[in-house]
């Protein structure tokens, strides 16, 4: 590949001629400005420079790495290897172990053992005393226990007041056995208390467990797709939905196969166009409930390398390379109470995927509010399907359209999705509310600023599933 110096790259730093260096490679991002998810200003700020540190700080995904290969034009002469700064590790002091409880238990154990030993000794003395001797069992036991360590109060008073028979080895042996058995029982009870674990579940009465197993989520079952490897599928149907917008239907190997795509995830398509390897990601409008097929709705821009020069000319019967699932979003039923959506153009596809899964889910009660923006009425994609869901689930799904050029008698909105529109047709900021965005970068960036003014927490540069504002 061509080799450039740092000075060569520095000459290309304008909006109409923008080069950057990333990991010793040179990329011409002039044509990518309008498509960059973070907005054009982010790229303009690093134009003509080594942007490796900024690229790594943001933490780009595999999608970004694949897209960058499309714009690779050369390498940097004498490039220096990028080394990430080592993170500072804070070591917290470990508190000394607590020994008070163990000491207390040990003390009680010694007391119980001492009690048993003393009682056994007294029993032996009683057995061996002379028939007419002066040893008095009751007095001797009471006096002996009075001198024992703390903890012997665990012995009941009834033992020390026990009336013992006088005289004879047999009577003495019987008394000794009685005392030893009693003391042994008390000692065993106390030792059991010392070693017993006071666990929470033991405090509650037993109950019967339900044998009913939860239903597996059909959208989390693995299928045809493989995350790391590309696999081919033939195109079996191609329909025009709007100007330059197509529905592509690809056939899986078997009629019962599923694509294996969790809700919120997308797939990557790869092709070689004009000698270049190009890869882009798209969200299917089909899911695991649609067996034997993978369906995509894509707008093919005339100047688009993959869409305009490849997909727009794709014919039924030709095969396409796919891999997945990919993406930061992996939706779970009832992830939050309310979801607000702002979509523009073909940005409706990931929204439709979620809307369909939520409305068709037996136990998902999430409420959805969608604001969908387009240029004209003919550009509204999946309108029939969206309005069918709105009619069937009126308490769960609402849709409001915005058009740049509305027809006469249009009953929805006109113009941009402003903060006023967001406040009127989207849920308020709350801990159990999430807003999702997908569409042209300019619209997405303006929407984020407007939502920030309405009290929503702004997302980071890289989308995370826990973001209050999630950008596909």
Query: 85-89, 109-113, 402-406, 419-423: lowest mean pLDDT where?
Result: 109-113
Q: Is the residue at 208 inside a domain?
A: no
Same domain, 309 and 385: no
Same domain, 392 and 356: yes
Q: Which of 70, 126, 266, 425 is catalytic?
A: 266
Interatomic CA distance for residues 460 and 452, integer angstroms? 12
What pLDDT, in 10s, does the model give residues 348-390? Answer: 999 999 999 999 888 899 999 999 999 999 999 999 999 999 9
Q: What is the pLDDT of residue 151?
A: 47
Q: With a threshold of 0.75, does the pTM exceed it?
A: no
Q: What is the pLDDT of residue 349?
A: 92
Q: Is the residue at 88 inside a domain?
A: no
Query: 184-198, 209-223, 233-247: lowest mean pLDDT where?
Result: 184-198
Same domain, 395 and 343: yes
Q: Is the residue at 84 inside a domain?
A: no
Q: Which of 52, 283, 366, 433 is catalytic?
A: 283
Q: How many CB atoms lie within 10 A of CB 53?
A: 14
Same domain, 290 and 375: no
Sign of CA dihedral 198, 204, 205, 210: negative
What pLDDT, in 10s, does the model give residues 51-108? Answer: 888 787 665 555 666 777 778 888 888 777 766 665 555 555 566 665 554 444 445 5
Q: Are 95 and 152 contacting, i.e. CB atoms less than 8 angstroms apart?
A: no
Q: Are 410 and 400 contacting, i.e. CB atoms less than 8 angstroms apart?
A: no
Question: Among 43, 76, 109, where does a domain finish?
Answer: 76
What pLDDT, in 10s, does the model give residues 276-308? Answer: 888 888 999 998 889 999 999 998 988 888 998
Interatomic CA distance for residues 156 and 179, integer angstroms? 12
Interatomic CA distance for residues 33 and 18, integer angstroms? 9
Question: In this model, does residue 182 exceed pLDDT 80?
Answer: no
Same domain, 342 and 463: yes
Interatomic CA distance for residues 472 and 380, integer angstroms? 19
Question: Among 271, 292, 326, where does a domain finish?
Answer: 326
Same domain, 363 and 307: no
What pLDDT, in 10s, does the model give residues 66-80? Answer: 777 778 888 888 777
Q: Which residues are annotated as a binding site for FAD?
A: 280, 282, 297, 299, 349
| Beta strand ranges found along 25-111 (DSSP E) | 25-28, 72-76
Tell me the range of 20-24, 224-228, 293-297 where mean pLDDT is highest: 293-297
Q: Is the residue at 89 inside a domain?
A: no
Same domain, 286 and 262: yes
Question: Among 33, 61, 76, where does a domain finish?
Answer: 76
Active site residue 471: no
Question: In this model, does residue 154 exceed pLDDT 50?
Answer: no
Same domain, 261 and 306: yes
Domain, as residue range, for 301: 231-326
Could you tell me the CATH number of the domain that includes residue 390?
3.40.50.80
Q: Which residues are annotated as a binding site?
A: 280, 282, 297, 299, 349
Q: CA separation (Å) from 229 to 153, 156, 224, 225, 270?
A: 75, 77, 11, 8, 11
Q: For residue 343, say if its preceding peptide bond is cis, omega within 30 degrees of 0.
A: no
Torsion angles phi and psi, residue 44, rounded to 5? -65, -35
What pLDDT, in 10s, does the model give residues 423-437? Answer: 999 999 999 999 999
Same domain, 52 and 28: yes
323-362 CB burial, b ≥16 within 10 A, e <16:
bbbbbbbebeeebeebbbbbbbbbbbbbbbbbbbbbbebe
Q: Which of 55, 310, 433, 438 is catalytic?
A: 438
Same domain, 446 and 359: yes
Active site residue 266: yes
Active site residue 282: yes
Mean pLDDT of the chain: 78
Q: Is the residue at 66 inside a domain?
A: yes
Same domain, 246 and 343: no
Q: Is the residue at 34 inside a domain?
A: yes
Rg of the chain taking only CA atoms, in angstroms: 39
Q: What is the pLDDT of residue 331?
A: 87
Domain count, the chain: 3
Q: Is the residue at 147 inside a domain?
A: no
């Amino acid at each position: 590949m061509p080799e450039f110096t740092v000075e060569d790259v520095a000459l290309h730093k304008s909006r109409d001629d923008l080069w950057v260096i990333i990991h010793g490679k040179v990329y011409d991002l002039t044509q990518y400005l309008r498509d960059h998810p973070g907005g054009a200003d982010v790229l303009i700020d690093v134009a003509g420079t080594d942007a490796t540190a900024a690229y790594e700080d943001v933490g780009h995904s595999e999608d970004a790495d694949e897209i960058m290969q499309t714009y690779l034009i050369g390498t940097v002469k004498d490039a220096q290897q990028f080394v990430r700064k080592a993170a500072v590790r804070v070591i917290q002091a470990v508190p000394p172990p607590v020994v008070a409880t163990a000491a207390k238990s040990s003390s009680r154990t010694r007391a119980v053992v001492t009690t048993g030993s003393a009682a056994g000794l007294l029993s032996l003395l009683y057995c061996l005393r002379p028939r007419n001797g002066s040893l008095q069992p009751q007095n001797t036991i009471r006096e002996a226990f009075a001198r024992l360590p703390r903890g012997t109060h665990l012995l009941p008073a009834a033992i020390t007041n026990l009336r013992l028979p006088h005289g004879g080895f047999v009577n003495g042996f019987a008394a000794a056995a009685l005392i030893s058995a009693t003391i042994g029982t008390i000692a065993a009870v106390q030792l059991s208390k010392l070693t017993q674990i006071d666990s929470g579940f033991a405090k509650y009465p037993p109950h019967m467990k339900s044998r009913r197993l939860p239903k597996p989520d059909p959208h989390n079952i693995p299928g045809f797709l493989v995350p790391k490897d590309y696999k081919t599928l033939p195109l079996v149907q191609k329909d025009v939905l709007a100007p330059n917008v197509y529905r592509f239907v690809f056939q899986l190997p078997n009629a019962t196969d599923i694509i294996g795509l969790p809700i919120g995830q997308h797939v990557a398509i790869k092709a070689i166009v004009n000698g270049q390897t190009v890869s882009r990601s798209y969200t299917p409008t089909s899911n695991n409930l649609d067996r034997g097929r993978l369906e995509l709705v894509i707008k093919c821009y005339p100047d688009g390398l993959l869409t305009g020069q490849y997909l727009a000319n794709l014919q039924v019967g030709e095969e396409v390379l796919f891999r997945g699932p990919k993406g930061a979003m992996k939706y779970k039923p009832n992830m939050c109470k309310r979801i607000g959506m702002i979509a523009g153009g073909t940005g409706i596809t990931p929204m439709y995927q979620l809307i369909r899964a939520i409305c068709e889910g037996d136990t998902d009660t999430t409420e959805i509010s969608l604001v969908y923006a387009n240029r004209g009425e003919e550009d509204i994609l999946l309108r029939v399907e969206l309005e069918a869901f709105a009619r069937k689930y009126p308490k769960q799904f609402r849709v409001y359209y915005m058009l740049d050029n509305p027809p006469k008698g249009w009953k929805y909105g006109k113009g941009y999705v402003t903060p006023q529109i967001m406040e009127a047709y989207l849920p308020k900021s709350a801990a159990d509310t999430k807003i999702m965005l997908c569409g042209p970068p300019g619209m997405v960036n303006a929407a984020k600023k407007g939502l920030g003014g309405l009290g929503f927490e702004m997302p980071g540069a890289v989308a995370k599933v826990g973001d209050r504002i999630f950008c596909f």
